[in-house]
Structure 1
Amino acid sequence: MSDLLPLSLRVGGRRVVVVGGGAVAARSVDGLLAAGADVVVVAPEVVPGLAALAGAGRVRLERRPYVEGDLDGAWLAFTATGLPAVDAAVSAEAERRRTWCVDRGDADRATAWTPSVARVDDVVVAVSAGRDPRRAVRLRDGVAAALQAGDLPLRRSPGRSGARSGARSGSGSGGAGRVALVGGGPGDPGLLTARGRRLLAEADVVVVDRLGPRSVLEELDDDVLVVDVGKTPGNHPVPQERINEVLVEHGLAGRAVVRLKGGDPYVFGRGGEELAACRAAGLEVEVVPGVTSAVSVPAAAGIPVTHRGVARGFTVLTGHEDLAATPALLAGVPVEAHTVVLLMGVSALAASARALVATGRPPTTPAAVVEDGYGPRQRTTLGTLATIADLAAERGVRAPAVVVVGDVVRLAPGWGAVAEAQHGTQSGSLPGSQPG
């Protein structure tokens, strides 16, 4: 294969002759039509797919055997008749006419080969694997999967413009850019979606939160602009209005912008506000859901938010405000067989616990605080509504953390020790709970 010169041919509007009407020829025709070729099929019999294309006027069909001269005016020829003598004759005519010929019957006689092709947006990868088509297909599929997942660099070089993921963009091109609101999950880069990774691989600008999977930033090209708008409790150095402006400014400059957020953009992530601001500016916006910490962080601690016979549903509330001061937040939230999840709830934990008791939950209702879910300092504090705030204060619990309230907490590893400390027995444990 050392005598091959890999080339991409522009066949749009140019005559290509395909000799043969079987399934192999039909696959060749599909690829040629996708490239815009003017296709002529020569065969006495054709498969239904080719007949349908001819009936629709997409190919010209000559229902007869091949004859000398059929390659007149052809830029490229394909032969796949299954008849060695006919394929040899087509190849011989192509050689005399100096027309490149893909001979499906004899690769050694062919003067051209069609590789296995993967197309991802405007990137085309062609794989030839020593004339082993199955090996080429496996390699092609692997490359395509890596491109789709963002494991290979899809980002354009600075200054290049053109289509990208269906949108006009280009670093600083002045055309309309694209903004993607990407949910990064609870912080573990392995929980970032494949689509999110793909968009990060294409990004010119990444606007990142404190709680997103920040380790993926190390994978970005050196010239990708990273704008840190991270917030800590009580400290918002970049107000939301300014974040919206940053997204719009870079998008209107023709850049591919990713807003990388912790959890899910639409679960207390203010993604709706950012979407509205970008759309008001005329920008295309894609929203990529993320694994919300409301479900994933309890799961990391072995706590399901629902469980058969224990909890039939769950409610997610923001916990950085005093629930007692906003009783409407708890209005209508079931008490029995229901889980309450509080996000951003560490600073107001004591007040939230009192409010939950005031709305009908017993002080003995199990409660848990899970810190830094999936992070290096993940830790779970178990207690009840009566004790959880004091326990959290004693242990120095700090954000980010997720609070879980309800009988599902009894399923957490270690709950047996809590029940034993309270009652001198593990009778409070539910079926399926794990001993601590």
Structure 2
Amino acid sequence: MPLYPLFADLRDRHVLVLGGGDVASRRVAMLLKAGARITVGARLLTPELREWAKQGRITWQAGSYEAEWLERAWLVIAATRSRPLNTRIAADAHARQRLVNVVNDRSLSSFQVPALIDRSPLLVAITSAGAAPMLARRLRERIEGLLDPTRGSLLQFALRYRARLRARRRDPAADRRFYAWRRDVPAHVSSLISPSAQAKKQLAVALTDRREKQASGSVILVGAGPGDPGLLTLHALRALNEADVILHDALISEPILDLARHDAERIAVGKRGGAMHTPQASIHALMLQHARQGKRVVRLKGGDPFVFGRGGEELEFLREHGIHYEVVPGITAALACAAYSGVPLTHRDHAQSVRLVTAHCQLSLDTLDWSDLARERQTLAIYMGVSQLDELARQLLAHGRSADTPFALIESGSLPQQRTLTGALQALPVLAARHDIRAPALIILGEVAAQASVSHWYGELLGEPQGKFTLPRPLADAA
């Protein structure tokens, strides 16, 4: 049977909660926020309920349930541990035309208590009509991440000035444009959403400004991480759900794109050797074109925008052209690939530093200080180096790096098809060719890389244990 959605104003209205346990306590806590006048009927109360009764926040009707308790109630919640008693309460409530909820028993209930997202005065309620409460709670968790806590603060300000806004804005279309322009206030001027008097004054001026604002676009550089959608940040997910246009790299996985707003325009601007290639100048032009059209543009980049992602160049371009921008960092490949392969990038006994290096072409290799990179007791995380493995190994060995230095070569890190190849530096090119390792792949080189052989936990492990890495000492010994 379908349910009719309803948000009830319970301020100063009598609500009867039957039962004095933990479930009743949780229901009472929600009702107190709604300003209800609550009577709890039970022989015993939890310490929390007892304290609220002592403070006068609720009324305790001690003893066994009597039908007369229902007479003043607008709403009834049955949270006892006895189904026969709950059945009796429900029957008495129905006979008196009271709305009743029997916790975890939809057949006896005339209303359901939904899973709630509270950004007061914004409330989002989710119900499965009692069929699958766990599903409703999971959906609440997903949606909650999309609603920044500052949304509630913004709405409270808007509510305070709503009458003045309506008086100044006779045209409903202009009113809609005003609020559409303000929809991004939490993201763009979150510094204004604070308890300070100055911040409140500034936001009040913005909300009551007579002048219509020309819709202005913006660009958000978003790091999508290495590919696993579970590694997206909440800010990244929110940006995807607010985007009008998404300019995405070739390595962005479909599951991540599936999380974006369904009607957003998606434009592939990938850069892959030997395949699709979008010049950086074209990416700049696309960002500028759509932002000047008043659109919210997400520049979606694999990993982190500022780690070999040319995010700095794109920010310079946007700044030069007066386009508002933000940056949402992502989990870079070195961190993700190491974690998904069980490799600690630093270790107090083996590596006190980490070097992030790119090796996608001969030109980039020629700029590296190989003597410095060949030092021991440091970890090298080498991006885009699959096509240069022979030269990488040759240079490191020639500059003094030990031939038996362990490596972990991680292909498609964090994705279901992840493969981790382990071995010694001297065999790196041969082993990679034997197992047909292909981009995208990241190389971790150093004593810590041997840990992949014993701590690897995700995807397929290839190769044999190598190197001199020893497991950390037990805590008792370390002390």
- The answer to whether TM tops 0.5 is yes
Change (3 A) 1:86 1:230: closer
Instruction: Provide the secondary structure at the position in 1 that maps to 2:127.
Output: strand
Which residue among 119, 137, 150 is the counterpart of 1:144? 137
**Cα displacement (A) at 1:15:** 0.6
1:338 alignment partner in structure 2? 378
Aligned pair 1:237/2:235, yes or no?
no
Return the letter of the residue paired with 1:225: E
Unaligned runs of 5+ in 1: 130-135, 156-162, 417-428
SS in 2 for 1:174: helix
- Greater mean deviation of Cα atoms: 363-372 or 81-90: 81-90
Superposition RMSD in Å = 5.8
Query: Structure 2 vs 1, CA of residues 80 and 210 (structure 1 numbering), >3 Å: closer, same or farther?
Result: closer
Instruction: Give the distance between the partners of 2:309 and 2:32, measured in 1 at CA.
Output: 45
Match in the other structure for 1:124: 125
1:173 aligns with 2:173: no
CA distance in 1, matches of 2:432, 2:17: 77
Distance, in Å, in 1 between the alignment partners of 2:433 and 2:105 is 78
Q: Secondary structure at the match of 1:263?
A: coil
Report which of the two has the higher share of helix.
2
Q: Which amino acid in 2 is paired with 1:319?
A: A
- What SS class does the counterpart of residue 10 from structure 1 fall into? coil
Determine if contact 2:240/2:298 at 8 Å carries over to the other structure.
no
Report the TM-score, using the length of structure 1 for normalisation. Answer: 0.60
1:26–1:311 Cα change, 3 Å = closer
Alpha-carbon shift at residue 262 of structure 1 (Å) = 1.6
1-side partners of 2:89 and 2:391: how far apart?
88
Q: Distance in 2 between matches of 1:14 and 1:216?
A: 47
For the residues of structure 2 that align with 1:144 and 1:53, how far apart are their CA atoms?
A: 27
2:241 is aligned to: 202
Over 3 Å counting, the alpha-carbon distance change for 1:208 and 1:62 in structure 2 is: same
Query: What is the identity, as a one-letter code, of the residue corresponding to 1:49?
Result: E
Distance 1:89 1:398 in 2: 67
- Secondary structure in structure 2 of the residue aligned to 1:124: strand
Residue 212 (str. 1) matches residue 212 (str. 2): no
**What TM-score does the superposition give when structure 2 sets the normalisation length?**
0.56
Whole-Å separation in 1 of the counterparts to 2:436 and 2:77: 73
Check 1:30–1:392 CA distance in 2 against 1; reply closer, same or farther (3 A cut).
closer
Number of equivalent positions? 387
Moved more, 140-149 or 393-402: 393-402
Q: 1:242 to 1:363 in 2, by over 3 A?
A: farther
Structure 1 residue 197 displacement after superposition: 8.9
C-alpha separation in 1, matches of 2:395 and 2:105: 80
- Deviation per residue, 1:187-227 (Å, 9 max, x gap): 4x466448589548735443311222135435756522213
Shift of residue 269, structure 1, vs aligned partner: 3.5
Indicate the residue corresponding to 1:325 in structure 2.
367
Q: Is the 8 A contact 1:183 1:196 kept in 2?
A: no
Counterpart code for 1:361: R
Q: Distance in 1 between matches of 2:86 and 2:418?
A: 72
Aligned identity (percent) is: 28
Instruction: Identify the residue that residue 32 of structure 2 maps to in structure 1.
Output: 33
Could you report, residue by residue, the CA deviation over 1:120-156 in whole angstroms, capped at 9, with x for unpaired residues? 8754222344xxxxxx5xx222333255458x9x99x
**Aligned counterpart, 1:49:** 48
CA distance in 2, matches of 1:407, 1:86: 65
Provide the rounded CA distance (Å) in 1 between the counterparts of 2:433 and 2:128.
60
Matching residue of 2:458: none
- 1:405-416 correspondence to structure 2 within 5 Å: 405-406=445-446, 413-414=462-463
Structure-1 separation of matches of 2:345 and 2:89 = 71
Aligned counterparts of 2:100 and 2:429: Cα–Cα separation in 1 = 78
Distance in structure 1 (CA, Å) of the matches to 2:410 and 2:101:
63
**Is residue 17–residue 77 contact of structure 2 (8 Å, CA) maintained in 1?**
yes
CA contact (8 A) 1:185 1:191 kept: no
Equivalent residue for 1:426?
Answer: none
Map 1:44-193 onto structure 2 (within 5 A): 46-53=45-52, 59-61=57-59, 71-72=71-72, 74-78=73-77, 92=92, 95-96=95-96, 98-102=97-101, 112-115=110-113, 117=115, 119=117, 122-129=123-130, 139-146=132-139, 148-149=141-142, 166-167=150-151, 173-177=180-184, 178=187, 183-187=223-227, 189=228, 192-193=231-232
When residues 78 and 260 of structure 1 are mapped into structure 2, their CA distance, relative to the original with a 3 A threshold, is same
Structure 1 distance, partners of 2:338, 2:41, is 65
Partner of 1:17: 15
C-alpha distance 200-313 of structure 1, shift in aligned 2 (>3 A): same
Distance 1:29 1:403, change over 3 A: closer
Q: Give yes or no for the alignment of 1:268 onto 2:308.
A: yes
Alpha-carbon distance between aligned partners in 2 of 1:104 and 1:299, rounded to the nearest angstrom: 42
SS at match of 1:210: coil
> Matched residues in 1 for 2:141 and 2:105: separation?
34
| Contact 1:183/1:192 (8 A) holds in 2 | no
Aligned partner of 1:117: which letter?
Answer: A
